[in-house]
């Protein structure tokens, strides 16, 4: 890190988290944290370490820019599979403190534990990324697109022709066909679904997202919420956790939204 992590800085963070700073000192330090990503990371690590060591005096700050990350950190700490690891860290920390009473050695504990915490945090966020990849892998086969192909239909419609091309992986050709369907046609919103999916299959993700946005804007279309789900898939493919989570939250606002129950159990 570029920031100079001194004993004085660690002690200031310690006092800040314990609430020992004056109101003005706390406000000034908060501003410093918000404008310094490296300092913010150190504060987050320290707060996580306090959780490990069962400190009861940590304040909950609803306006903290790191509160979401801290909550994720705490959730991970509470998982059964991680309890043994943290118990060992705590046990080693307590034994070290008993043997080494000086201020210098006190903060050496933080350096050692911070290294472990950083490793754990890295693993956690990599797993978050992996979770998004699994969402895309498990749900992006596009089999849930509405099918209107009628095998006995001798007068093939533009829609059925476009769908057959899509199912045959001829995505560029299917886009051309679906684009001939007029916006006034009742099948147009369904055509947009296939166009967006085809763009996604061609890795033209921005065009895909723009197309699904067109579905979402058609609030009179009974299945407009499919657009949220399809955008969630594209953002998962891009490993864009922030945007994927935004789509998840929009879907969960209404139990009638497409794939509500499926989204409710997704973790990322």
CATH code, domain carrying 199: 1.25.40.10
pLDDT band for 55, please (50, 70, 90 cuts).
Answer: very low
Residues 100 and 39 in one domain: yes
pLDDT 10s digits, 177-205: 999 999 999 999 999 999 999 999 999 99
Which pLDDT value is given to residue 59?
A: 41
Q: With a cut of 70, say whether residue 79 has pLDDT above it.
A: no
Residue 165's Cβ-count burial label (10 Å; 0-12, 13-18, 19+) is buried
Q: Does 127 share its domain with 152? A: no
pLDDT digits (tens, 9 = 90+) for 149-166: 654 444 458 899 999 999
145 in the same domain as 121: no
pLDDT at 67 over 50: no
Asked if 188 and 78 sit in the same domain, the reply is no
Q: Are residues 124 and 224 in the same domain?
A: no
On whether both 123 and 184 belong to a single domain, the answer is: no
Can you give the residue range of the structural domain that contains 47?
Answer: 7-134
pLDDT: is 249 or 51 the higher one? Answer: 249
**Calpha distance 189→185 (Å, rounded):** 8
Task: Please state the domain count of the chain.
Answer: 2
Does residue 233 fall inside a structural domain? Answer: yes
Higher-pLDDT residue of 101 and 244 is 244
pTM to 2 decimals?
0.53
Among the residues of 53-99, which ranges form H helices? 67-78, 80-99
* Chain mean position to CA 193: 24
What is the C-alpha separation between 43 and 11, in angstroms, rounded? 11
Domain for residue 77, yes or no? yes
Residue where one domain finishes, among candidates 134, 162, 181: 134
- 3-state secondary structure (DSSP) of residue 2: coil
Measured distance CA(181)–CA(167) in Å, rounded: 18
Last residue within a domain, chosen from 134, 155, 186: 134
Q: Is residue 1 part of a domain?
A: no
Residues 144 and 259 in one domain: yes
One domain for residues 13 and 106: yes
Q: Which of 9-18, 119-128, 196-205, 241-250 has the lowest mean pLDDT?
A: 119-128
pLDDT of residue 4: 72
| Mean pLDDT score of the chain | 77
Closest CA to 174 of 166, 183, 184: 166
Q: How far is C-alpha 106 from the geometric centre of its chain's CA atoms?
A: 35
């Amino acid at each position: 890190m570029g920031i100079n992590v001194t004993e004085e800085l660690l002690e200031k963070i310690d006092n800040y988290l314990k609430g020992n700073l004056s109101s003005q000192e706390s406000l000034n330090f908060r501003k410093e944290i918000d404008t310094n990503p490296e300092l913010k990371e150190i504060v987050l690590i320290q707060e996580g370490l306090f959780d490990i060591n069962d400190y009861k005096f940590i304040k909950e700050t609803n306006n903290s820019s790191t509160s979401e990350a801290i909550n994720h950190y705490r959730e991970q700490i509470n998982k059964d599979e991680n309890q043994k690891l943290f118990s060992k860290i705590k046990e080693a920390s307590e034994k070290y403190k008993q043997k080494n009473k000086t201020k210098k050695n006190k903060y050496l504990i933080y350096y050692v534990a911070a290294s472990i915490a950083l490793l754990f945090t890295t693993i956690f966020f990599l797993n978050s990324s992996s979770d998004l990849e699994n969402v895309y892998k498990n749900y992006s086969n596009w089999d849930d697109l509405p099918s209107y192909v009628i095998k006995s239909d001798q007068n093939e419609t533009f829609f059925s022709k476009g769908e057959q091309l899509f199912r045959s992986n001829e995505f560029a050709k299917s886009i051309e066909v679906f684009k001939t369907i007029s916006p006034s046609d009742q099948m147009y919103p369904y055509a947009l679904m296939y166009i967006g999916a085809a763009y996604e299959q061609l890795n033209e993700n921005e065009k895909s997202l723009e197309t699904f946005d067109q579905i979402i804007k058609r609030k009179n279309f009974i299945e407009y919420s499919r657009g949220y789900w399809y955008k969630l898939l594209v953002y998962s493919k891009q490993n864009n956790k922030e945007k994927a989570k935004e789509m998840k939250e929009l879907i969960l606002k209404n139990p009638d939204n497409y794939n509500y129950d499926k989204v409710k159990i997704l973790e990322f």
